[in-house]
Structure 1
Amino acid sequence: MEWTSRRISTDFDSAGLHHADLPQLPAEGFSLRITLQNLMRPHVYPEETKSSSGVEHIVDGITCTIMHSYREDEVGGIASWMGCALRALCYTGPAAAFGPARRLLQQSLADCLRPAGARIVLPSSSDYQTARGHVFNHRFLWSPAAFVFATTTAHVSNAIQCAVRLNVGIAPRSGGHSYEDYSLGGRDGVIVVDLEGMNKVTLNKTSKLATVGGGARLGPIKLALWNQGKVSTPSGTCPSVGVGGHSLGGGWGFISRKWGIMADNIVEVEIVIANGTVITANSQKNSDLLFALKGAGANSFGIVTKFTFKTFDVSKKVTYFSYNFQKSQQAATTKAFGLWGLTVTNDVSASLYHDPSGGNTFWGVYLGPKTNLKSVLQKFFSNAPAASSTTELETDYIRTVVINAGFKETDPISILDLKNYTYETRTFKSKSIFVKGSGFSDAGIQAYVNKLQQGPAQSYMIFDLFGGTGSAINAISPSASAWVHRDSLYSIQMFTYWNDRPQDAQNAINWIENIWSTVRPFASGEAYQNYIDSKMPLSAYYGSNLDKLKSIKRKFDSRNIFNYAQSIPLS
């Protein structure tokens, strides 16, 4: 038997079609030859070839032929694998012979999904590319089997049941900002459940608890909480990021040292699990599941449709600050950031930005008046040179949200509702690492700066302060939730992006891998799961909690319905 096809994906690791959809296999020993060709993304830097169950993955941009022979007693196993291959082939650039199989599966999906009443988009739909939306990382061009635009838990439940029934993968999409594009499943041929229609934000004025739909985005959440009660819950700065992936993977922001990461402030979730049942997880009910969701919840245990968060009063004036320095002072600001971060009080959260061209900015938010700012930052400036430019602004908290989101200081706060807003997408690679103790040693700082300044122009580093005196993040035990990074001083996000030239991609990826390796001896080796990196082992994200997470996975998703390349495994 032989098939030839152009493909986009390189993944055979997911469940496939029903065995009934496969060609009839001979009873005797037989040979299977599949030729797959990827001509769609020649600019993408090839990952190394991997193996799965004896079947090679296809390297992007290279034509390969896979040849395997099987005995009669292996036919069942090859049927399962054939489903994986067939499904991938049928969705993206199939050979003519696979047209009927593709149409058959699309019809099966339509028949199963549409009765629930959600808007459904299939590959044959005229609005399919629109439904894919802005692919956050153009290194990946996954082609889902279907999009389900859910507005109720019933829609989500039905989508999960259809995925199980048709043996198709499933992935939720809250904001679509996964660095490895797991928001589209991380492979071809999955059902993507888009949650954007489940975005309501309601504040209980008495309890100060906020109920947030699983598809709400950070900008609208912060705006709604401000308008309803001048409160907030800690979260990141990018306004278009979805609450789902962000909070379930941690969620650091400029009030996190005072009140914790976003995951720490989850009180309760409504979640649809693998059998389609809608359940609640809180401290009293399904508390083990809540443990897992607070740090490892991104499509490993179910689809969260609603969150309840603690909120905090941010009605008083705060101070936004930003200081720019010279390229030659990058080592000095790195050292000053670490020394200052060790002892600064928890009413300050701050970051440090560097890039190879000389960018060197220290900025943050102080939950207090401008008159106190000098004393708060005194230790930083006792170890750093004078800034070349300075911004110090006493203002409302919500104004700092607007500024940190990248909008103009003078823009109305209503800009956070993201109407007519399109977020930037790129072709990029990112890595991260946590640094403990007092930060980089002098040797570590010098090694870091030397490698940084050799980097491509379209690259940057961001240090985010997690620890220090009274940090609410580090006050929590690593065993209290899945988010294990409780003894770090700061994290470093490493980011590089490029255009379409293959040599740019190769140079950028080589450099980011090299700078990570350069700083690794001076850091913990732990990494931040919201900056997911396919090269990192799960132990870097979950540490000593990984075995417990596997146990919870077996309890709530014993068939591994919710899976992607870096999901929590069964064992």
Structure 2
Amino acid sequence: MALVRPAAMWHGHGMPDQASLSRRQVLRAGAGVAGLAFGGLVVGGQSQNAGAFAAATPADWADLGRSIRGTLIMPNDPAYATARLGWNTIYDGIAPQAVLQPAGVGDVQQAIAFCRDTGVRPTPRSGGHSFQGFSTSTGLIIDMSAMKSVTMNSQRSRARIGAGAVLIDVYAKLFQQGKMAIPGGTCPMVGISGLTQGGGVGPFIREYGLTLDRLVGAHIVTADGQHRYVNASEDRDIFWAIRGGGGGNFGVVTAFDFVPVPADMPTISANMTFAWRHAERVLEAFQTWPDALPASAHPNLVLATSDRSANAQPTATVGLWYRGSRARADQAMREFIAEVGVAPTSQTVLKQTFFEAEYDEYCAGFTEGQCTPVTSPGGLLPRLGLSTYSEISSAPWPRAANDVIVEELERWQRDRLLQPEGVSSALQAGKVIIEPLSGAVHDTAPTATAFPYRDGWLVYQFQSRVRPGAPAETVAAGQSWVNRFMSRLTPWRTGAEYSNYGNRELDQWATAYYGVNLPRLRKVKAAVDPGGLFRFEQSVRPDART
């Protein structure tokens, strides 16, 4: 497929500034050089936080605020208390020195120049959903949430999505503009940037590939301050790296150009819940079910603990997204039930538009304003404390492995610290989520993008989820539970992990995330960010250190 630079139909994003300018050079020349006007919120003071590369002076922050069109939020501003937070409550104790919400590319360039000059760590944030908490730091958060436009050309052949857009807005706007979509996940508040740069798993992947497989170009500001447009012919190595090399490693992406996919057919969304005593049968049947389904079908399996009560047990729920006829979806479910050998205790089937199905996955019964995080005015979507590992399997697991999964969920269910009285399992639970990584995902070579696991079978998430404000001992118990879980599964694990579902305690994380593509990623890092300006606990290093 020929990859074409977007035409002048795109508005409001600005053209690349090819000069690598320091912040002080720009300020000496005057804000007009960069096309900037005063509009930043300047508040005095600074935060001396351990772990930042450096702490800037009040004068530095004042200069930065005057140089941008967006908003600079300092610790003594009323907005700081929520602006600093990511989604994962485990990392709420991390206090950035400031949060910058850029209004355009020029603001991002100013932020990068500021960080180079002062030594403050830049941390890009799109949706703030990093499972490992890497979208927060003790440096400068570059919060892209104001750069969230979603536009599509009249031919519906290209969609430009600002890096601050979250999935519910992406789906809504592409559907409204032409009943189109991109293959992405189902969680509404996940940001497009981290999703795409890590891979992008969701209900369209068996038909259209990962989210990154539909990407044809991106705007990015690199560590030298340059604003580059990267695609298959321009800055090809960077374009390769941001497709699977993980968010925040190679610069601040400000917009993505995708080839959208049709979303104008009915979507069948179904759930079948089975009695827990049959969980092993469900696990065994599910592992081979995707191969029996057409590419337009995407199943998932969720095993989760329940609210504490006298006879509470975990649940086993099989979901199915089917783009097509209700009759074929019903037939697929009947075949799965026959394979399990027992009927589900409950079953729901809905025929909806694609957007209705996506919205209802998390937001059924909510208004549009309520389908936002609790940190937003009127928002009802909860924040959680999450510790997770993943596994990309290469073949079905044997019964012994499935036994471990069942036993560990039962262990959590019995534990009164992990599953306490009076706390909803919607806010605190042990959970395993399994989805196929097959179909069109396999059509791309392992080294064609930075995402290496093109022969994967299933992708697993093993989650410890604890309520906001949970005591430290509960958070630690959840991490210990998931650590033990992974240790017990060692005989069957491939060592392949999906970076978007990673864990800070993972050994050999670089190899686990990037596999055969790690050496090339390091070379790209050395070329585009040799000083490691974009650095965090699991960032790609420009050498062989992990």
Confirm or deny a common fold (TM above 0.5): yes
| Equivalent of 2:391 in 420, 433, 451 | 433
Once the 2 structures are TM-superposed, how far is the Cα of residue 316 of structure 1 from its aligned partner? 1.3
Q: Secondary structure at the match of 2:151?
A: strand
Once the 2 structures are TM-superposed, how far is the Cα of residue 113 of structure 1 from its aligned partner? 4.1
Question: Does 1:482 pair with 2:450?
Answer: yes
Which amino acid in the other structure matches residue 373 of structure 1? A
- 255-264 or 546-555: bigger deviation: 255-264
Question: Does 1:558 pair with 2:530?
Answer: yes
* Aligned residues of 1:135 and 1:141 also touching (Cα < 8 A): no
Match of 2:25 in 1: none
Question: Does 1:466 pair with 2:418?
Answer: no
Match of 2:505 in 1: 535
Once the 2 structures are TM-superposed, how far is the Cα of residue 383 of structure 1 from its aligned partner? 1.8
Q: How far apart, CA to CA, are the structure 1 residues paired with 2:233 and 2:167? A: 27
* Aligned residues of 2:99 and 2:141 also touching (Cα < 8 A): yes
Q: How far apart, CA to CA, are the structure 1 residues paired with 2:46 and 2:498? A: 30
* Aligned residues of 2:115 and 2:121 also touching (Cα < 8 A): yes
Counting only pairs closer than 5 Å after superposition, residues 58-97 of structure 1 correspond to structure 2 as 90-91=48-49
Counting only pairs closer than 5 Å after superposition, residues 392-541 of structure 1 correspond to structure 2 as 392-408=349-365, 420-437=378-395, 439-455=396-412, 456-457=418-419, 458-467=429-438, 471-498=439-466, 500-536=470-506, 537-541=509-513
Which amino acid in the other structure matches residue 537 of structure 2? A
* Aligned residues of 1:335 and 1:383 also touching (Cα < 8 A): no
Q: Deviations over 1:503-542 (max 9, x none)?
A: 3233222111111122232231211111121122111100
Q: Report the TM-score, using the length of structure 2 for normalisation.
A: 0.81
Match of 1:149 in 2: 101
In the alignment of these two chains, the number of paired residues is: 468
Q: How far apart, CA to CA, are the structure 2 residues paired with 1:382 and 1:309? A: 40
| Equivalent of 1:380 in 336, 341, 346 | 336
Q: Deviations over 1:130-175 (max 9, x none)?
A: 3214552324421111211101000000000000001111011111
Once the 2 structures are TM-superposed, how far is the Cα of residue 207 of structure 1 from its aligned partner? 4.6
Q: How far apart, CA to CA, are the structure 2 residues paired with 1:245 and 1:166? A: 26
Q: Secondary structure at the match of 2:207?
A: helix
Once the 2 structures are TM-superposed, how far is the Cα of residue 430 of structure 1 from its aligned partner? 1.3
Once the 2 structures are TM-superposed, how far is the Cα of residue 107 of structure 1 from its aligned partner? 2.6
Q: How far apart, CA to CA, are the structure 2 residues paired with 1:415 and 1:229? A: 25
Match of 1:79 in 2: none
* Aligned residues of 2:128 and 2:135 also touching (Cα < 8 A): yes
Match of 2:23 in 1: none
| Equivalent of 1:105 in 23, 41, 57 | 57
* Aligned residues of 2:101 and 2:145 also touching (Cα < 8 A): yes
Once the 2 structures are TM-superposed, how far is the Cα of residue 415 of structure 1 from its aligned partner? 7.1
Q: Secondary structure at the match of 1:90?
A: coil
Match of 1:165 in 2: 117
Q: Secondary structure at the match of 2:183?
A: coil
Match of 2:228 in 1: 279
Q: Secondary structure at the match of 1:138?
A: helix
- 156-165 or 296-305: bigger deviation: 296-305
* Aligned residues of 1:153 and 1:278 also touching (Cα < 8 A): yes
| Equivalent of 1:229 in 178, 187, 195 | 178
Q: How far apart, CA to CA, are the structure 1 residues paired with 2:47 and 2:256? A: 37
Match of 1:45 in 2: none
Q: Secondary structure at the match of 1:429?
A: strand
Q: How far apart, CA to CA, are the structure 1 residues paired with 2:379 and 2:472? A: 31
Q: Report the TM-score, using the length of structure 1 for normalisation.
A: 0.78
- Gaps of at least 5 residues in structure 2 are 1-44, 306-312, 413-417, 420-428
Q: Max radius of gyration: which structure?
A: 1
Q: How far apart, CA to CA, are the structure 1 residues paired with 2:410 and 2:371? A: 35
Which amino acid in the other structure matches residue 244 of structure 1? S
Once the 2 structures are TM-superposed, how far is the Cα of residue 115 of structure 1 from its aligned partner? 1.8
Once the 2 structures are TM-superposed, how far is the Cα of residue 453 of structure 1 from its aligned partner? 1.4
Once the 2 structures are TM-superposed, how far is the Cα of residue 502 of structure 1 from its aligned partner? 3.9
Q: How far apart, CA to CA, are the structure 1 residues paired with 2:493 and 2:535? A: 30
* Aligned residues of 2:275 and 2:315 also touching (Cα < 8 A): yes
% identical equivalent positions:
24
Question: Does 1:326 pair with 2:275?
Answer: yes
Match of 2:188 in 1: 239
Match of 2:521 in 1: 549
Match of 2:129 in 1: 177
* Aligned residues of 1:261 and 1:473 also touching (Cα < 8 A): yes
Q: Secondary structure at the match of 1:488?
A: coil
| Equivalent of 1:368 in 301, 319, 324 | 324
Q: How far apart, CA to CA, are the structure 1 residues paired with 2:444 and 2:487? A: 29
Q: How far apart, CA to CA, are the structure 1 residues paired with 2:155 and 2:368? A: 25
When residues 155 and 383 of structure 1 are mapped into structure 2, their CA distance, relative to the original with a 3 A threshold, is same
Counting only pairs closer than 5 Å after superposition, residues 171-320 of structure 1 correspond to structure 2 as 171-185=123-137, 188=138, 190-320=139-269
When residues 399 and 167 of structure 1 are mapped into structure 2, their CA distance, relative to the original with a 3 A threshold, is same
Counting only pairs closer than 5 Å after superposition, residues 38-77 of structure 1 correspond to structure 2 as none
Match of 2:14 in 1: none
Q: How far apart, CA to CA, are the structure 1 residues paired with 2:203 and 2:523? A: 34
Once the 2 structures are TM-superposed, how far is the Cα of residue 123 of structure 1 from its aligned partner? 2.3
Once the 2 structures are TM-superposed, how far is the Cα of residue 417 of structure 1 from its aligned partner? 8.2
When residues 139 and 213 of structure 1 are mapped into structure 2, their CA distance, relative to the original with a 3 A threshold, is closer
When residues 383 and 523 of structure 1 are mapped into structure 2, their CA distance, relative to the original with a 3 A threshold, is farther
- Gaps of at least 5 residues in structure 1 are 1-86, 94-100
